[in-house]
Amino acid sequence: MAVVLGPNRYGKAETRVVRVTRDGEVHHIKDCNVGVSLSGDMREVHLSGDNSAVLPTDSQKNTVYAFAREHGIGQIEDFALLLAAHFVESQPTIHHARVEVEEYSWERRGPHSFARSGAEVRTCVVHHDRDGTSTVVSGLRDLVLLNTTGSEFHGFVRDRYTTLPPATDRVLATAVDARWRYASPDSRHFGKSYEEARRCLVEAFTGTHSLSLQQTLYAMGGHVLTTCPEICEVRLALPNKHHFLVDLTPFGLDNDNEVYHAADRPYGLIEGTVLDDRAPAAGPAWD
């Protein structure tokens, strides 16, 4: 048996950076979490401890802060592309860079006052290779949506362990984790595409009479693709945030779909991909 080194990468995870832009009395804020992963000619550092090919992770962290100062942070995809290209092009031993950015949203409450706006997070992952090729996957997570009616679930397989009754009117709730891939990354699209894709996800969820969460997932991804031609693939993970009717008969009360118990676990998890069948191959984009 021979022991060999397999695929590997290293980097700096979760560098929190807050960039304040002061435009006179009015300030603007970008609150981000940045992860960097680099790979390339790293054989000797693993086999012999020779660090001559290694750009320290502390240097990667400092680069994030320096670039936030020198270049600002506009669309997070542009910031990630800038960082990824820098690491590959400035270090001969680095052949591939992966940069992930999460952005936390703040709502303006005055010229220089803000309030954190919920749990929803905007995301992106950028890959950049030495040949200059870049891929961009944008997305969001923890977009919480709920329909109090317009959802059914029946006609499913029943076996000896099935106790779930069929439902013709149920609450449907989820916390959307959505990612979408661009056919050809273009910085002109990122901001508008994010707003349009988010709008489409919400519209399709609220506007679909659902016979299953899988059907709703397909409608959400399809609406994004038909509205945003620059996007060629959408991946969705939709936890089914179950709401169970409470039995109030012990108290002499009926419950006509009015009082529910919101269960946090266990939950169904529905995942799927919706894509343009003409889409170019994804490569490492989703990694």
Residue 49 burial (C-beta neighbours within 10 Å; 0-12, 13-18, 19+)? exposed
**Span 169-185, average pLDDT:** 96
Q: Which residues are catalytic?
A: 12, 57, 242
Q: Which residues of 256-276 are buried (b: 16+ CB within 10 A; e: fewer)?
A: eeeebeeeeeeeeebeeebbe
pLDDT at position 278: 86
pLDDT at position 174: 98
pLDDT at position 96: 98
Structural domains of the chain, with CATH? 9-132 (3.10.270.10), 138-281 (3.10.270.10)
Percent of the chain with pLDDT over 90: 94
pLDDT band at 177 (very low <50, low <70, confident <90, very high): very high
Integer Cα distance of 84 and 238 in angstroms: 30
Res. 161: pLDDT tops 90: yes
Res. 280: pLDDT tops 90: no
Per-residue pLDDT of 48-93, as tens digits, reads 999 999 999 999 999 999 999 999 999 999 999 999 999 999 999 9
pLDDT at position 187: 82
Residue 269 Cα to chain centre, angstroms: 16
pLDDT at position 16: 98
**Span 25-32, average pLDDT:** 97
Contact 198, 177 (CB under 8 A): no
pLDDT at position 246: 97
Res. 254: pLDDT tops 90: yes
Res. 284: pLDDT tops 90: no
**Span 122-132, average pLDDT:** 97
Res. 164: pLDDT tops 90: yes
Integer Cα distance of 199 and 201 in angstroms: 6
Strands (DSSP E) along 2-154, which ranges? Answer: 15-23, 26-40, 94-110, 113-129, 134-147
Higher pLDDT residue, 278 or 215? 215
Integer Cα distance of 77 and 101 in angstroms: 8
Res. 243: pLDDT tops 90: yes
Residues 6+ apart with CB under 8 A from 25: 111, 112
pLDDT at position 184: 86
Contact 84, 11 (CB under 8 A): no
Percent of the chain with pLDDT over 70: 100
pLDDT band at 188 (very low <50, low <70, confident <90, very high): confident
pLDDT band at 20 (very low <50, low <70, confident <90, very high): very high
Res. 106: pLDDT tops 90: yes
Res. 185: pLDDT tops 90: no
